[in-house]
């Protein structure tokens, strides 16, 4: 049975992992007969967003690992405990936490800096030739991990795509229910909720992403 490491970035689309993307990805992994284990950085979130009003909750602090545990039903470890040698593949769902807590793309754009612990794990997967899937805005992190004109997508948002290209990636426009594959790097990306207006639209691309990642040798 293949084992997949899943890195989360909190709980909630505006300041953490996108819930639907995460659940769909985990379900797709299990439906494919693979096993997953969840990880997250043990640090404070960039900020906390009130998901009812959409406004930043001033003065409130939450921990990325603790919040991610909500999605993982408590079965989660610090990303520093992720040993890439113990896994066959890596999946990173989107949600703005991927661009706020796993890297600084949401704030710094083309000057984005990845979280050091997350970068170490992601680079270890990349350097060992193990396949990975990054969804939604998570390719902002992938651009820093792979660089060197790696092919990836966030859909078709021009300003975001430009920022990724300035980080060294090659952006490819992609429909919501499709994927972009960089076969040389074994990287699979899909727009998910960068474009999706419905959970079914997001599901189609996410399922293809997970299935493609798991089919890679």
Kindly give the confidence (pLDDT) of every residue in the chain, 217 residues in length, as a single tens digit, with 9 standing for 90 and above.
Answer: 999 999 999 999 999 999 999 999 999 999 999 999 999 999 999 999 999 999 999 999 999 999 999 999 999 999 999 999 999 999 999 999 999 999 999 999 999 999 999 999 999 999 999 999 999 999 999 999 998 999 999 999 999 999 999 999 999 999 999 999 999 999 999 999 999 999 999 999 999 999 999 999 7
Residue 217 pLDDT: 75
Give how many domains the chain has, as a whole number: 1
Is 136 an annotated catalytic residue?
yes
Predicted TM-score of the model (pTM): 0.97
Q: What is the CATH number of the domain that holds 94?
A: 3.40.50.880
d(CA 66, CA 48): 13
Give the containing element (helix H, strand E) for 77. strand 76-78
The pLDDT value recorded for residue 107 is 96
**What does each C-alpha distance from 157 to 48, 141, 162, 173, 195 come to in angstroms?**
25, 16, 9, 9, 9
CA distance 183 to 23: 26
Q: Which of 82, 103, 122, 136 is catalytic?
A: 136
> Residue 13 is part of which domain span?
3-215
188 SS3 class: strand
Q: What is the pLDDT of residues 160-214, one digit of tens each?
A: 999 999 999 999 999 999 999 999 999 999 999 999 999 999 999 999 999 999 9
């Amino acid at each position: 049975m293949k084992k997949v490491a899943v890195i989360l970035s909190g709980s909630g689309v505006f300041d953490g992992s996108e819930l639907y993307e995460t659940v769909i990805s985990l379900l797709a992994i299990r439906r494919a007969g693979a096993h997953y284990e969840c990880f997250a950085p043990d640090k404070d979130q960039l900020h906390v967003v009130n998901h009812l009003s959409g406004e930043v909750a001033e003065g409130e602090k939450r921990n990325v690992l603790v919040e991610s545990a909500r999605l993982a039903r408590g079965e989660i470890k610090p990303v520093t405990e992720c040993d890439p040698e113990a896994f066959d593949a890596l999946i990173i769902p989107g949600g703005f936490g991927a661009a706020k807590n796993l890297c600084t793309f949401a704030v710094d754009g083309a000057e984005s800096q990845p979280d050091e612990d997350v970068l170490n794990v992601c680079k270890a997967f990349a350097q060992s030739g193990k396949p990975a899937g990054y969804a939604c805005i998570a390719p902002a992190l992938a651009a820093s991990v792979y660089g060197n004109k790696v092919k990836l997508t966030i859909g078709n948002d021009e300003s975001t795509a430009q920022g990724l290209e300035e980080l060294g990636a090659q952006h490819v426009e992609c429909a919501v229910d499709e994927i972009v594959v960089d076969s040389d790097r074994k990287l699979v990306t899909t727009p998910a909720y960068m474009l999706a207006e419905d959970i079914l639209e997001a599901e189609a691309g996410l399922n293809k992403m997970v299935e493609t990642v798991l089919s890679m040798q």
